[in-house]
Chains A and B, each alone.
Chain A
Amino acid sequence: NAGVTQTPKFQVLKTGQSMTLQCAQDMNHEYMSWYRQDPGMGLRLIHYSVGAGITDQGEVPNGYNVSRSTTEDFPLRLLSAAPSQTSVYFCASSVRGETEKLFFGSGTQLSVL
């Protein structure tokens, strides 16, 4: 059982480039989310989804897009990368969101030059 899988593990971008961070889970979880972790700021929620076809914004959504076409996948798109988006990105999932443990992927370390 792979759990939550994130790719790539590391990525370097130039300012203005776009890219997609991939997240997949094989636990049939309805709830999926993206967080970013910055030194001194803790983890902050970017976007989340409570099921296929349903997405919503979190605390820091600007500059990011998401879609949820299947239960398994929840990609995060950076439209035009900026140095302020240098961070570690984590994808997480749970069965129903409320009252359930959250399972995290191993993270993507992104640097924008």
Chain B
Amino acid sequence: KQEVTQIPAALSVPEGENLVLNCSFTDSAIYNLQWFRQDPGKGLTSLLLIQSSQREQTSGRLNASLDKSSGRSTLYIAASQPGDSATYLCAVQARGSQGNLIFGKGTKLSVKP
């Protein structure tokens, strides 16, 4: 059974720092991996989607990498800002799952001014 783990569960950094969030998964047979952002009381917003054949995706200050063979992904946030404070969730889509995602429990990020 696919399991997704995110470490750390919570992270607090000063504004301007570069940071890395980690995600690991147990079964490498995936279609893709997505990183989401969730603000308190709100829904999830997809940040980056990495197909299984890709190594990384970039959007602005965000860069996500995927190492399928080792079952790991990282989300790199450059020059963090207080507006980046949110919970970041990682999710994998298994082959044959018809679009269903398996989520990690998230990393709660706090960026202090």
Query: Could you tell me which A residues sit within 8 Å of B by CB distance?
Result: 4, 31, 33, 35, 40-45, 48, 50, 56, 58, 90, 92, 94, 96-107
Contact = CB atoms under 8 A, between A and B. Distances in A.
Nearest to B106: A42
Given A41-B105, A42-B105, A42-B106, A97 B43 contact: no
B99 A31 contact: yes
Interface residues on B, range: 20 to 34
B36 to A, nearest CB: 8
B42 interface: yes
Contacts of A97: 98-100
A102 B104 CA distance: 15
B10 to A, nearest CB: 13
B93 to A, nearest CB: 7
Given A41-B105, A90-B43, A98 B89 contact: no
A35 to B, nearest CB: 8
A33 B45 contact: no
Interface string B93-108: 1000111110111100
Given A33-B99, A48-B98, A101 B49 contact: yes
Interface string B35-64: 010000111111001010000000000000
Interface in B62-100: 89, 91, 93, 97-100
